[in-house]
Amino acid sequence: MEGKQERHQTKSIRCIVKLGGAAITCKNELEKINKESLDIVSSQLRQAMISGRSPPTTGPGMDWSKRHGESEVFCIEDDFGEDAFADSSRFVVVHGAGSFGHFQASKSGVHKGGLGQPLVKAGFVATRISVTSLNLEIVRALAREGIPSVGMSPFTCGWSTSERNIASADLSMVAKAIDSGFIPVLHGDAVLDELQGCSILSGDVIIRHLAAQLKPEYVVFLTDVLGVYDRPPVEPTAVLLQEIAVREDGSWDVVKPVLQNMTKVETTVAAHDTTGGMMTKITEAAMIARLGIDVYIVKAATSYSLRALNGELRGNIPDDWYGTVIRLVS
Amino acid sequence: MEGKQERHQTKSIRCIVKLGGAAITCKNELEKINKESLDIVSSQLRQAMISGRSPPTTGPGMDWSKRHGESEVFCIEDDFGEDAFADSSRFVVVHGAGSFGHFQASKSGVHKGGLGQPLVKAGFVATRISVTSLNLEIVRALAREGIPSVGMSPFTCGWSTSERNIASADLSMVAKAIDSGFIPVLHGDAVLDELQGCSILSGDVIIRHLAAQLKPEYVVFLTDVLGVYDRPPVEPTAVLLQEIAVREDGSWDVVKPVLQNMTKVETTVAAHDTTGGMMTKITEAAMIARLGIDVYIVKAATSYSLRALNGELRGNIPDDWYGTVIRLVS
């Protein structure tokens, strides 16, 4: 076991990516995948994973199944000459639920616990069926691009909560999968809760935990808007926050653009957040950034997301890039 | 942790069921589920799990998803008045792959290991996509019957092999799921192998390990033929072996019917098994039976399988029951 521990410490994770539920599913339609977006996201992930290597040709797909009558990828043995993902691909993917799972979870109150109630137990089962079916489709989409993806449900991995905070999260299988050259694909899930019986473990909490444990070089959140705004982005006067500086104590400031109405004092009002979850998002991202890990919040399936995934933003942020960068300043 | 350990010891598992790949999929058609058989199997499992309780009405389904345009089960909160599965349902389900996964695994040689080879790695990914998609459909079928099923992939649970034998198998999540009132649904899977990189962990090996650790009252193998025969069942002179007595040293005899050509000396010829896998099947079952656990091998979706699942065979075997019983004699 000591040998394995060592390996985890020497080989670092390059990137943890969150595929936001809103970016890969159709928000307002029950259990519908945004296939167009997911296909572009998968293709960009592939490009990012093999960046720096040549030749970046499209490799053979890894979904050899016959499901849904879709593009049946046949395995031609000669295609498997080299492993494009051998070295540079240490990514972890986490996705949200979007229009999968939320209906089942909220209808039954899984997040509030109480497995002794038949409705809650039924909701737990229904939620897991829904989110694991989304997970399977995302693993398929990545595999069609030749990404060696393996689905890993947090519930099955033994992750559990205690009043919704992570109580136990065994990362050993995630680490072993990465060390064996695979891309783990985790997701928001219904899990057991030590105090209330069951709970919902969100993709964002998973990301925060993985980032703290695996210390990736950077974290990318793929969303359905350009980044984080100072108010709900549907409002015409909403301003995109392009750069947020986080200090080691966790406090933060918007450094680009320069805003008049926003000071760091607002970091304390997350409980009364009326800005469309903006404060919550920044607070979550700031908790990662204070570990010294850059966080990029960017619109999925755009040229901006590809550049973020490639790691192009680690130095200066180009003027022609749009999104939100949240990083530590000393 | 000690408290939990205690709970596992006091509450016993009633039954481990193997859904044979041949019984729930169409063997000769890639990735096709035998829906008719699976639906009857699910219904019989439901009946067996709530047997001894009243009223055994059909409860509300637990698959609230919209997938495949199939029977959309709506959740009506009033339906969830009592939990029919509260006490008597301590079952574990394990299924084989049938026409799922085998093509992907054999085409790439996953069972022989060598994850450094791109073809093997791709085969590993493709195999897992295929077997987890079957797992999801089985979990769905059980949930539609109101069975609180949760899919648990051995790979994700951290099960691994060492030259195809189980090297590590963390049962804690399986035990926790059972203690929380769920029915874990495991499956044959592609897993990491300590020596050869990767391997295939078969459903039968999983069953043997689970039986040894969880000590169920009985184990049922659901197959596509009546039971174990003295030669391939397609041969017209094949005789159904109805009762096999196992001694504590693992040796065994067919005690019903009385056969002339079969003696216990044949237990040593498993390596040259030319009887359609019969010897292998008996040897596997005998390893479970010598722990004092009755094993029933029976045709799925028949009145015989329902009686086996119900536990009706634990005393005398009725004359009007057909199948193979393998049990310990002192």
Q: How far apart are CA B21 and CA B276, in angstroms?
A: 16
Supply φ then ψ for residue A23, to 5 degrees.
Answer: -85, -25
pLDDT at B284: 87
Q: What is the pLDDT of residues B257-299, one digit of tens each?
A: 987 765 443 443 334 444 446 777 888 899 999 999 999 999 9
**Which residue from B minimizes the CA distance to A120?**
B80
Q: Where are the domains of chain B?
A: 1-216, 223-330
Cα A206-A211-A217 angle, rounded to 5 deg: 145
H helices of chain A, in order, are 2-10, 21-24, 35-50, 102-108, 118-144, 154-157, 172-179, 203-214, 278-289, 303-310
Give the total residue count for chain B.
330
pLDDT band at B86 (very low <50, low <70, confident <90, very high): low
- The tens digit of pLDDT for each residue in A132-175 reads 999 999 999 999 999 999 999 999 999 999 987 899 998 999 99
Q: How high is the mean pLDDT of chain A?
A: 86
Instruction: Output the known binding site of B for ATP.
Output: 98, 224, 277, 281
Q: With CB atoms and an 8 Å threshold, state whether B128 touches A148.
A: no
pLDDT of residue B280: 77
Lowest pLDDT segment from A10-19, A234-243, B199-208 = A10-19
Residue type for position A60: P
Contact A136 B132 (CB under 8 A): yes
pLDDT band at B222 (very low <50, low <70, confident <90, very high): very high
Mean pLDDT computed over A203-207: 93
Which of B93, B131, B156, B186 to probe by mutation at the A interface, max A CB count within 10 Å?
A: B156
Q: Is A281 marked as a binding-site residue? A: yes
Indicate whether B70 pLDDT > 70: no
pLDDT of residue A74: 56
What is the per-residue pLDDT for B10?
A: 37
Contacts of A103 in chain B (CB under 8 A): 64
Q: Is A139 exposed, middle or buried (0-12, 13-18, 19+ CB in 10 A)?
A: buried
The predicted model gives A40-57 an average pLDDT of 81
Average pLDDT over residues B237-260: 91
Q: How deeply is A171 buried, as exposed, middle or buried, from its count of CB atoms within 10 A (0-12, 13-18, 19+)?
A: middle
* B58-69 mean pLDDT: 76
Mean per-residue pLDDT, A46-67 = 76
> B200-235 in b/e burial notation, b at 16+ Cβ within 10 A?
bbbbbbbbbbbbeebebebbbbbbbbbbbbbeebee
- Using pLDDT thresholds of 50, 70 and 90, give the confidence band for residue B8: very low
Q: What is the mean pLDDT of residues A251-268?
A: 69
Give the range among A138-147, A187-196, B235-244 with minimum mean pLDDT: B235-244
Kindly report which listed range (A78-82, A250-254, B96-100) carries the lowest average pLDDT score: A78-82
Residue A296 identity: Y
Q: How far apart are CA B262 and CA B149, in angstroms?
A: 41
DSSP bridge partners of B326: B244, B295
Q: Which residue has the tokens 């990362």?
A: A171
Higher local confidence (pLDDT), A72 or A38 = A38
Give ipTM to 2 decimals.
0.91
What string of H, E and C letters represents the secondary structure of A122-162? Answer: HHHHHHHHHHHHHHHHHHHHHHHCCCCEEECCHHHHCCEEE
Residue A272: band (very low, low, confident or very high) from pLDDT cuts 50, 70, 90: very low
Neighboring chain B residues of A31 at a CB cutoff of 8 Å: 65-67
pLDDT of residue A269: 38
Which class in CATH covers the domain with range B1-216? Answer: alpha beta
CATH, range A1-61+83-216: 3.40.1160.10
Rounded to the nearest angstrom, the minimum Cα separation between B192 and chain A is 8
Q: How many angstroms away from the CA of A131 is the closest CA of chain B?
A: 10
For residues B86 and B210, the model is more confident at B210
Contacts of B256 (CB under 8 A, 6+ apart): B241, B242, B243
pLDDT number for residue B269: 38
Going by C-beta distance under 8 Å and a sequence separation of 6 or more, which residues neighbour residue B313?
B218, B294, B296, B307, B321, B325
A83 → closest Cβ in B77, B82, B121: B121
* Best residue of B25, B53, B65 to probe chain A, by most A CBs closer than 10 Å: B65
Quick check: A119 and B64 CB within 8 A?
no
- Given this model, what pLDDT does residue B264 score? 44
Task: For residue B130, give the nearest of B108, B160, B159 by alpha carbon.
Answer: B108
| CA distances for A45 relative to A117, A174, A222, A304, B214, angstroms | 42, 19, 11, 13, 42
In the block, residue with structure tokens 């089962």: A125
Residue A114: band (very low, low, confident or very high) from pLDDT cuts 50, 70, 90: very high
Measured in angstroms, the CA of A183 and the nearest CA of chain B are apart by: 10
Span A192-197, average pLDDT: 96
Retrieve residue B289's tokens: 């039976």
Residue B5: band (very low, low, confident or very high) from pLDDT cuts 50, 70, 90 = very low
- Report the distance separating Cα B127 and Cα A127, nearest Å: 25
pLDDT at site A210 = 96
Smallest CA–CA separation between B326 and chain A, in Å? Answer: 32
Nearest to A180 among B157, B180, B192 (CB): B192
Q: Which pLDDT does position A73 carry in this prediction?
A: 53
Specify the higher pLDDT residue, A200 or A280: A200
How many interchain CB pairs under 8 A, A with B? 185
Closest in B60, B63, B128 to A150, CB measured: B128
Of A60, A133, A157, Cβ closest to residue B65: A133
A105 is in an annotated binding site: no
Q: What confidence tier does A2 reach under pLDDT thresholds 50, 70, 90? A: very low
Mutate to test the interface with A, among B64, B100, B191 (most CBs of A within 10 A): B64
Shortest CA gap A281–chain B (Å): 29
Q: How far is CA A1 from CA A5, A172, B154, B194, in A?
A: 6, 10, 20, 12
Q: Do A119 and B31 touch (CB under 8 A)?
A: no
**Type of residue found at A225:** V
Burial per residue of B271-289, b for 16 or more beta-carbon CB atoms within 10 angstroms, e otherwise: eeeebbebbebbebbbbbb
Predicted confidence (pLDDT) at residue A317 exceeds the cutoff of 70: yes
Q: Could you give the dihedral angle defined by the CA atoms of residues B160, B155, A125 and A69, in that order, rounded to the nearest 10 degrees?
A: -150
CB contact under 8 A, A31 and B173: no
- The alpha carbon torsion through B45, B50, B55, B61 (nearest 10 deg) reads -50
Instruction: Give the pLDDT mean for B162-174.
Output: 90
Cβ burial of A213 (10 Å; 0-12, 13-18, 19+) is middle
Output DSSP code: residue B169. -
Q: What is the pLDDT of residue A66?
A: 78
B110 and B127 Cβ atoms separated by less than 8 Å: yes
Check CB contact under 8 Å for A63 and B139: no
Per the CB < 8 A criterion, the answer to whether A175 and A92 are in contact is: no
Q: What would the DSSP string read from start to end of B3-43?
A: HHHHHHHHS---EEEEE-HHHHB-TTSTT-B-HHHHHHHHH
Q: Which range has the worst mean pLDDT, A56-65, A145-154, B6-15?
A: B6-15
Q: How far is CA B231 from the centre of its chain?
A: 23
Helical ranges in chain B per DSSP H? 2-10, 21-24, 35-50, 102-108, 118-144, 154-157, 172-179, 203-214, 278-289, 303-310
Residues B19-53: tens digit of each pLDDT: 999 999 998 899 999 999 999 999 999 999 987 55
Side-chain half-sphere CA neighbours of B26 within 13 A: 9
Q: Is the pLDDT confidence value at B166 over 90?
A: yes
Beta-carbon separation of A153 and B151 below 8 A: yes
Question: What is the per-residue pLDDT for A56?
Answer: 47
Of A227, A323, A246, which Cα lies nearest the Cα of A287? A246
Distance from CA of A95 to the nearest CA of B (A): 17
Q: What is the average pLDDT across A74-102?
A: 78
pLDDT, tens only, B307-330: 999 999 988 899 999 999 999 997
Given pLDDT bands bounded at 50, 70 and 90, which one contains residue B68?
Answer: low
Q: What is the 3-state secondary structure (H, E, C) of B225-263?
A: CCCEECCCCCCCCCCEECEEEECCCCCEEEEECCCCCCC
* pLDDT at B150 > cutoff 80: yes
CA–CA distance from B202 to each of A77, B95, B184, B233, B326 (Å)?
A: 25, 9, 17, 23, 21
CA neighbours closer than 13 Å in the CB half-sphere of residue B94: 22
The mean pLDDT of A94-101, rounded to a whole number, is 94
